């Protein structure tokens, strides 16, 4: 047990911050849980309203007119039936809200609400001793678990990193911060984020990076504070103190937890996101338990938007009219380039430089032009599903196996470059020897 000066006695080495008393000695009496066999109802200590004299314990708080405030408290008698009153209103004009009478064998628990009247920017919450058993004016009315304030109000902010623009196949990390900017704790807080269309969840990427339970593994079987729901294509985080694998925990307000709690997960940008803006929002469900029954509340984050560059899946095929020729004969190649999408391809170029042993003769292209000096076929733009063809003719000049390769590129990233190159080999044999003109024909 300890007697400490109230908040008006700032010159004292120790005082009770925030609380004032009408007692002339300005003393507040605090008990530790278990002292004289009396357990606290909440936390490790509680107050005795009748410290050295009958008095009122109170706080003056800034308030916004029209705001609905919740209050709750525990009350208990010391030597028998004690009675106290709760007064709320403007300083100098408080109004009795309720009285509480309890014995000394158990704590009574009480809740209620108060709507701040118009023009009232300061509100006094006062706990007034009415009577105490035993007749000693300095003994009675235990008080604990006091709360008065607004309902919890969870605010979600969401970001996507890197900022972008990104390419198909890149990984995006979504980070969501939940802050309780209300008064009471947000209970059973569960955060749900449906993945944007065209993205794929990266297994094992769920993390609580700040706030309660930060650093803990979140998606192990059996103890997952967070999980990926494949059926709903969503990630689910159960947040706050005492969160578990089955339900959300309690998120204190920003006075106690300024940074709130932050989580993250990762997705891969799929082909269908090419050339689009990928966006989504997260939602949270939680409860306000300041009143007599739980009140279900929700919050929605701002929209995180990621720009994805266009992507064109190009493929090239190359064939020869014959795979075996003789020196001096013409080899004809047919090169076909195709755009499988999902975006139009721009600046399409096929590089097809003739190797040694072949001499360029001519080229015909369905679009664009072929430059034999550089071996580049400038196709230009290619719509989704479109094809372009090039026919190359060359003269074989040396014997051996000659391999010719065509490679296609475009301005847009190709999500599957494995089919951007194709080769064909032609065997060049010696020309047949001419017959001896001096030898008579048979």
Instruction: Determine the average pLDDT of the residues in 305-320.
Output: 97
Residue range 252-278: average pLDDT?
A: 95
Instruction: Summarize the confidence of residues 397-407 as an average pLDDT.
Output: 96
User: What domains sit in the chain, N to C, each tagged with a CATH number?
Assistant: 2-149 (2.60.120.260), 154-307 (2.60.40.740), 312-429 (2.60.40.1530)
Q: Is the pLDDT of residue 167 over 70?
A: yes
Q: What percent of the chain has pLDDT over 90?
A: 88
- Please give the average per-residue pLDDT across 361-381, as a whole number: 96
Least confident of 84-88, 171-175, 218-222: 218-222
The pLDDT assigned to 118 comes to 96
- Which candidate, 212, 285, 282, places its Cα nearest to that of 247? 285
Q: Express each pLDDT in 421-431 by its tens digit.
A: 999 999 999 98
Give pLDDT, residue 442: 46
Q: Residue 218 — very low, low, confident or very high, per pLDDT cuts 50/70/90?
A: low
Cis peptide before 355 (omega within 30 of 0): no
Q: How does the average pLDDT of the chain come out, rounded?
A: 93
State residue 39's pLDDT score. 97
8-17, 151-160, 210-219, 387-396: least confidently modelled range: 210-219
């Amino acid at each position: 047990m300890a007697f400490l000066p109230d908040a008006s006695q700032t010159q004292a080495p120790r005082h009770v911050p925030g609380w004032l008393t009408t007692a002339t000695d300005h003393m507040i009496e605090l008990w530790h849980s278990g002292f004289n066999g009396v357990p606290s109802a909440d936390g490790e200590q509680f107050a005795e309203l009748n410290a050295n004299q009958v008095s009122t314990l109170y706080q003056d708080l800034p308030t916004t007119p029209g705001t609905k405030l919740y209050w709750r408290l525990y009350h208990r008698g010391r030597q028998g039936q004690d009675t106290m009153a709760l007064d709320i209103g403007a300083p100098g004009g408080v109004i009795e809200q309720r009285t509480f009478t309890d014995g000394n064998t158990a704590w009574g628990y009480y809740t209620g609400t108060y709507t701040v009247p118009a023009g009232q920017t300061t509100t006094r919450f006062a706990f007034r001793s009415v009577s105490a058993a035993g007749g000693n004016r300095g003994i009675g009315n235990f008080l604990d678990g006091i709360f008065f304030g607004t309902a919890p109000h969870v605010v979600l902010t969401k970001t996507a990193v890197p900022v972008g623009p990104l390419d198909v196949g890149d990984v995006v990390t979504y980070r969501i911060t939940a802050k309780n900017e209300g008064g009471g704790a947000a209970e059973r807080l569960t955060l749900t984020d449906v993945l944007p269309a065209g993205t794929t969840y990266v297994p094992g990427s769920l993390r609580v990076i700040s706030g309660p339970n930060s650093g803990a593994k979140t998606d192990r079987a059996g103890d997952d504070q967070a999980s990926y729901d494949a059926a709903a294509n969503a990630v689910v985080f159960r947040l706050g103190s005492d969160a578990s694998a089955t339900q959300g925990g309690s998120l204190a307000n920003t006075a106690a937890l300024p940074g709130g709690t932050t989580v993250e997960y990762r997705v891969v940008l799929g082909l269908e996101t090419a050339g689009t803006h990928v966006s989504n929002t997260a939602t949270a469900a939680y409860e306000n338990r300041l009143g007599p029954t739980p009140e279900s509340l929700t919050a929605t984050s701002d929209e995180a938007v990621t720009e994805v560059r266009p992507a064109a899946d190009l493929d090239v095929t190359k064939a020869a009219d014959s795979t075996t020729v003789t020196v001096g004969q013409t080899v004809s190649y047919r090169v076909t380039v195709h755009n499988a999408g999902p975006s139009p391809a721009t600046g399409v170029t096929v590089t097809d430089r003739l190797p040694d042993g072949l001499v360029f003769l001519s080229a015909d292209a369905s679009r664009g032009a072929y430059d034999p000096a550089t071996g580049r076929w400038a196709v230009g733009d290619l719509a989704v599903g479109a094809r372009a063809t090039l026919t190359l003719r060359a003269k074989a000049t040396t014997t051996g196996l000659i391999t010719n390769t065509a490679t296609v590129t475009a301005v847009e990233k190709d999500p599957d470059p494995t089919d951007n190159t194709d080769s064909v080999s032609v065997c060049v044999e010696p020309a047949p020897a001419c017959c001896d003109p001096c030898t008579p024909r048979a």
